[in-house]
Structure 1
Amino acid sequence: MEEFDTVVVGAGQAGIAMSEHLGKLGIEHVVLERNRIAERWRSERWDSLVANGPAWHDRFPNMTFACDKDAFPGKESVAAYFEAYARMIDAPIRTGVEVLSATQLEGRAGFRIKTSEGEIEARNIVAATGPFQRPAIPPIVPDLPNVSQMHSTAYRNPQALAAGAVLVVGGGSSGAQIAAELLEAGRAVYLSIGSHDRPPRRYRGRDNVWWLGVLGKWNLDTPGPGTEHVTIAVSGANGGQTVDFRRLAARGVTLLGMTEGFDTGVLTIAPDLKANLDAGDRNYLSVLDEADAYIARNGLDLPPEPEAREIPPDPECVTHPIRALDLAACGIGTIIWATGFQFDFGWLRVDSFDHTGKPRHQRGVGMVPGVYFVGLPWQTRRGSSFIWGVWHDAKFIADQIAIQNGYRQYHEQATGDG
């Protein structure tokens, strides 16, 4: 049986960052990936997807993207970036190896990891499977004979969908971008949105990610009260544009409130569309206010942008909102659920999860000794699940593993064990 100090599960951005820091500390490890490096970027995203942050920002510190620094790399470019990075650091990655289970050893420290290629023992295990694990589809609409339903991870392009109108459920980045693409392709589009934040893509010559940095928002350690499940509507598509649902409606998208229920072919829509849009506007304007104050406080020479504060009038679908949507009458042939993800750590059979399956941890250090996590949303701060943020969290976890190894080595030298 093979033995390693540390086994890292997952070779996406979290696993590669973890391998870099473990390697720098001389910690023997292996990274196991059931598919290819950065597989989710390749096969679980739509064709036209680009990164939501510009290349100068959404990257690891030691390698730049092979494109303009202000561009938004496409999904294949992102996957190629991680492949190249793994080669640069000579990461010990084994692809095509699925981890089936990981359990604690009896009577001694460590874990037995069953894989599709056999068993491995390790003193530490790092779950680096990221925040996008199991697509979440609310159990609202049953299987229907004339309507295709899919999660946003299964959507590829407008041409691949069945004929007819499309209902997109979810007002975050994915839902907004998919709805806009479908509209541009000539589809009739209905977009159901809930509560959301919609920061400006750019303001006064600086990108949103820059403002989040200088205003200290990347370092927030917990979501604000009542914002734990609020989605963020921001887009890097078409060179990066501010998401504006009212302007989408003016171009032809029919906006709906949250999708609540379904009965005999008719969706029930909540009466919250106007409230959701207004709350999104308040979030948008609050960012502009903070940015203006920062510019004044620091004496920056950035051009004023008064037109950014112009909010379009409410379209017809907002002033007279739809409360019941008959799928057949509207010709809807496809429902795309852009409704996020759930955790799936069924393979990690240790007592480090709450009743919902969410990891219990402190900055990625699990409640069971030797169990660690990297890439979780809000693992240490707001930026934890982003490309650059996961790199810094991985460094912290590698340091914790090295610290524990130091304690173990002292014990072994003091007692003559090992």
Structure 2
Amino acid sequence: MSVETVDTLVVGAGQAGIALCEHLGQHGIPHLVLEKNRIAEAWRTSRWDALVTNGPVWHDRFPNLLFKGNAPDEFVGKDRVADYIEEYAQMVSAPVRTGVEVKQATRLDTGAGFRVQTSDGVIHAKRIVAATGAFQHPVIPPIVPEDAEVEQLHSAQYRNPDQLADGAVLIVGAGSSGAQIADELNQAGRKVLLSVGPHDRPPRRYRGRDFVWWLGVLGLWDMAAPAPGTEHVTIAVSGADGGHTMDFRRLAGEGVTLVGLTKSFSEGVLSFADDVVSNVSAGDANYHAMLDAADAYVKAMGLDLPEDPGARDAWPEPACLTEPLESVDLAKEGITTIIWATGFRQDFSWLKVDAFDEKGAPIHQRGVSKEHGIYFLGLPWQSRRGSTFLWGVWHDAKFVADQIAIQRAYEDYEGEAAIVRRAAE
């Protein structure tokens, strides 16, 4: 039986894989994208019903396609984002084969390429781009036993308040997902406790500009690497209800009980670290640092942007910060559900090559693996802070496609002049 062959096999048809198709196509590189579900599946089935983008669509998009029918400052829903990615796939004629799962990829005995076992047969590929993204497997820390008398689910499994059993809800994790779900449940009349860890907390808008604009002009989107110790610090921001600053003191004032990091569980009692005050205060400091940087930029550039003194007004100190809870008895507090907004882990176990460190993380330089013929796309901080956003992954995809094109040019060696010409194109 004949084996299908392809120059470049892309695994994953999310925003990373689709962005790469545009650049590979421009280089004339034959490629195929395999997707085990549908294009942009995670946007459709791994997000809650009311989720909207955290940035306005003038910014959070691919450079070559507007969100047609949406206002530039609009925060659109998850299904609209999925439709947009499908529109882009059609625009760039992405060769996507859906419903095909990659089971395993190993280097061929000859060394020239890889044998890829899929749910639909075997493919030989000269190169593989793992574009499976940053949000593959939900992580729930092993703190509360599965047989405890409380329902536990990850934020990726949460859909809406009606999905949950009656009773109070503890949300663990105060990044964008945890904070927004806490806000939604509180507005739905639920009793909510929110376990707050370290986070950044930018203003939604300041002096007439969205925070994504401020990060851009201040050069923060293009930071090449995170500051030491901040690699996994989450960001609390929301585009819900037209977009608003995520202020934890506001949430507390509206009824949410803030607690520290969730630490341990014993005999129905959850214990928290003594850090809720310091975590909220650090988030406030991050917020004010952004305001200060914005003011300095306005002054330095002589911009005519309106003053915004109200942005520095503080909500009253809530009781949960003046007298923090050390623990809660789930039954006594009526807590029937724990939602773990605790992130995801990547899984490259299907890729049987020497391209990972001892923790299973890819070893790469801007997506180019140390293993010849292997590339990665869609990783957090792949080249910059914005790498997991639509526009950021588009730029990373261009770099990866350019590197593949350069390698192909060297492989087509026909003399020094030919190499220099092709590699420079």
What is the RMSD of the two structures over their aligned residues, measured on CA atoms? 1.2
Q: Which runs of 5+ in 1 are unaligned?
A: none
Q: Deviations over 1:197-219 (max 9, x none)?
A: 10111100000110000000011
Q: Deviations over 1:212-268 (max 9, x none)?
A: 000000111111122112111011111111000010000000100000000000001
Q: How does 1:315-330 map to 2 (within 5 A)?
A: 315-330=318-333
The aligned residue for residue 162 of structure 2 is: 159
- Of all paired residues, the percent bearing the same amino acid is 64
CA distance in 1, matches of 2:193, 2:93: 47
CA contact (8 A) 2:171 2:192 kept: yes
Please state whether the residue corresponding to 2:413 is helix, strand or coil.
helix
Match 1:410 to one of 409, 413, 416: 413
The aligned residue for residue 89 of structure 1 is: 92
Q: Deviations over 1:97-125 (max 9, x none)?
A: 00001111112321111100000011110
Task: Output the amino acid matched with 1:281.
Answer: D
CA distance in 2, matches of 1:145, 1:218: 42
Match 1:70 to one of 57, 69, 73: 73
Task: Output the amino acid matched with 1:191.
Answer: L
CA distance in 1, matches of 2:351, 2:159: 31
Regions of 4+ moved over 4 Å: 411-414
Q: How does 1:338-349 map to 2 (within 5 A)?
A: 338-349=341-352
CA distance in 2, matches of 1:108, 1:352: 15
The aligned residue for residue 335 of structure 2 is: 332
1:147 Cα deviation after fit = 1.0
1:124 aligns with 2:163: no
The aligned residue for residue 420 of structure 2 is: none
The aligned residue for residue 188 of structure 2 is: 185
Q: How does 1:126-145 map to 2 (within 5 A)?
A: 126-144=129-147
The aligned residue for residue 212 of structure 2 is: 209
CA distance in 2, matches of 1:119, 1:61: 35
1:385 Cα deviation after fit = 1.0
Q: How does 1:359-398 map to 2 (within 5 A)?
A: 359-398=362-401
CA gap of 1:334–1:288, structure 2 versus 1, over 3 A, is same
1:145 Cα deviation after fit = 5.1
The aligned residue for residue 29 of structure 2 is: 27
CA contact (8 A) 2:253 2:316 kept: no
Please state whether the residue corresponding to 2:54 is helix, strand or coil.
coil
1:6 aligns with 2:12: no
Match 2:246 to one of 243, 248, 257: 243
Please state whether the residue corresponding to 1:335 is helix, strand or coil.
strand
CA distance in 1, matches of 2:91, 2:310: 45
The aligned residue for residue 49 of structure 1 is: 51
Q: How does 1:239-318 map to 2 (within 5 A)?
A: 239-318=242-321
TM value normalised by structure 2 = 0.96
CA distance in 2, matches of 1:206, 1:57: 12
1:411 Cα deviation after fit = 6.3
Task: Output the amino acid matched with 2:35.
Answer: E
CA distance in 2, matches of 1:253, 1:262: 21
1:313 Cα deviation after fit = 2.5
CA distance in 1, matches of 2:346, 2:129: 15
CA distance in 2, matches of 1:26, 1:228: 36
CA distance in 2, matches of 1:241, 1:128: 32
TM value normalised by structure 1 = 0.98
1:412 Cα deviation after fit = 10
Please state whether the residue corresponding to 1:328 is helix, strand or coil.
helix
CA distance in 1, matches of 2:372, 2:127: 8
Please state whether the residue corresponding to 2:333 is helix, strand or coil.
coil
The aligned residue for residue 199 of structure 1 is: 202
Please state whether the residue corresponding to 2:169 is helix, strand or coil.
strand
The aligned residue for residue 62 of structure 2 is: 60
CA gap of 1:319–1:400, structure 2 versus 1, over 3 A, is same
The aligned residue for residue 39 of structure 1 is: 41
CA gap of 1:412–1:268, structure 2 versus 1, over 3 A, is farther
1:381 Cα deviation after fit = 0.8
Task: Output the amino acid matched with 1:22.
Answer: L
Q: Deviations over 1:109-145 (max 9, x none)?
A: 2111110000001111001011101111111000235
